[in-house]
Amino acid sequence: MKKNVFSLNDEIRSIYINPNETLLEVLRDKLGVKSPKCGCDSGDCGACTVLIDGKSVRSCLILAIEVDGSTISTLEGISKDGLSPLQKAFHEHNVFQCGYCAPGMILSATELLKKNPHPSEHDIKEAIAGNLCRCTGYIPVIEAILDFTKKD
């Protein structure tokens, strides 16, 4: 067990961690942060996406012990002060169906828009290509992001 200190959704957290625990497990089981989901446990699906220092990563492929000193954001943090304009756009467009991929998809889109506020359709596809969704056919996701960036 090792004590780790990191920022989670703008709150400094310190917690004892075993080296064999993944970040996804620690977030969900030890810290009660449930929006990152497990959909494959091998980095293929993107449901476990979180932002570390602003970059989207697979929390199932990261050991929790690695994030000591980092800044981690999940959808809980993004929603803390009410829905972000991007989340509102997703809601207004009825984008998601089952919603299981939504946390990862929204974080990937958040990262993209921070780097590139006016992405092309292809930029959007590339940014969310690692988030598998079986319901929507992706087109509603892409359209909502495009529409959102045009409103800006």
Partner 1 sequence: MQDYKYIGHSAERVDGIEKVSGAALYTDDLEFGPDLLYAEIVEGPHAHAMLNSIDTSEAEKVPDVLAVVTGKDFPFNFGLYMKDRYIFAQDRVRFYGEQIAAVVARTPIAAQKAAKLVKVNYTPLPKILDPLTAIQEGADLIHPELKNYDRVPWFFPTPDTNIAHHRKIRKGDVDKGFAEADYVLEDTYEVPRYSHCAIEYHAAVAKFDHSGRLTVWASSQSPHTQRNLFANALAPLGIRHNDVRVIVPHVGGGFGSKAGVTMEIIAAAIAMKVQGHPVKVMWNREREFYNTYQRLGVIAKLKIGVKKDGSITALKHDLYWDAGAYVEYAANVVNAVGLSAIGPYRVENASIDSYCIYTNLPPGGPYRGFGYSEFLFGLESHMDRIAQHLGIDPVEIRRRNAIKEGELTAYGAPMNPNGLLQAIDRVAEEVRWHEKLTSNDPNIAIGKGFSLFWKAPAMPPNASSSCFLKFNEDASINLLVSGMDLGQGFLTVMAQIAAEVLSIPTSKIRTENPDTDRNPYEWQTVASHVTWGCGNAVHKAAIDAREQIFDLIERTKHLPRETLYLEDEMVKCTTDPGFELLLKDFVIYGIQMEDGTFKGGPIIGRGSFMPEFTSTISDPETSQGGHPNVHYTVGAAAAIVEIDKQTGKVRIKKIVEAVDCGKALNPSLVKGQIVGGIMQGISTVLYEEMKFDHRGKMLNPNFTDYKIPTALDVPDEIIPIIIEVPQPDGPFGARGMGEHTMIPVAPMIANAIDNALGLRITSMPITAEKVCLALLKKEKKK
Partner 2 sequence: MAIPYEFGYQKPATLQEAIALLAEHDKNARILAGGTDLVNELKQGFRVPEILIDIKGITELKNIQLVDDQLEIGALVTFSEILHSKILHDNAYILFEAAGLVASNGVRNRATMVGNICSAVACMDSASPLLVHDAVIHLISSQGERNVPIQKWFDDNRKTTIRPNELVTHVSIPIPKVKYAGAYQKMMRYSGEDLSQANVGVLLFADNTVHVAFGSVGPIPKRSPKIENLLKAKGLSADTIEEAKQMIEKVIAPITDVRASKEYRLHMCKVMFVRALNTAQARIKKPKLITKKLHYEKKCLQSE
Q: Which residues bind to partner 1, rule: CB under 8 A? A: 28, 32, 34-35, 37-42, 44-45, 47, 74-76, 78-79, 83, 87-88, 90-103, 106, 124-126, 128-142
Cβ of residue 75: shortest distance to partner 1, in angstroms? 3
Report the alpha-carbon distance of residue 89 to residue 147 in Å, rounded. 8
Angle of helix 102-115 relative to helix 139-151, nearest 10 degrees, comes to 40
Nearer to partner 1, 69 or 91 (CB): 91
In this structure, how many other beta carbons lie within 10 angstroms of the beta carbon of residue 69? 10
123 binds, among partner 2, partner 1, none (CB under 5 to 8 A by kind): partner 2
Cα dihedral sign, 86-61-69-25: positive
Shorter beta-carbon distance to partner 2: residue 112 or 141: 112
Compute the half-sphere exposure of residue 76: CA atoms within 13 Å on the CB side of its CA: 14
Residue 149's binding partner, choosing from partner 2, partner 1, none, with beta-carbon cut-off 5 to 8 A by kind?
Answer: none
136 binding partner (options partner 1, partner 2, none; Cβ < 5 to 8 Å by kind): partner 1
Q: From the centroid of its chain, how far is CA 30?
A: 18
31 contacts: CB under 8 Å, gap ≥ 6: 8, 13, 15
Query: Within positions 71 to 100, which residues make up the interface with partner 2, using CB under 8 A?
Result: none
Interface residues toward partner 2, by CB under 8 A: 2, 18-22, 25, 41-44, 46, 49, 55-58, 60-63, 65-66, 68, 104, 108, 111-112, 115-116, 119-120, 122-123, 126-127, 129-131
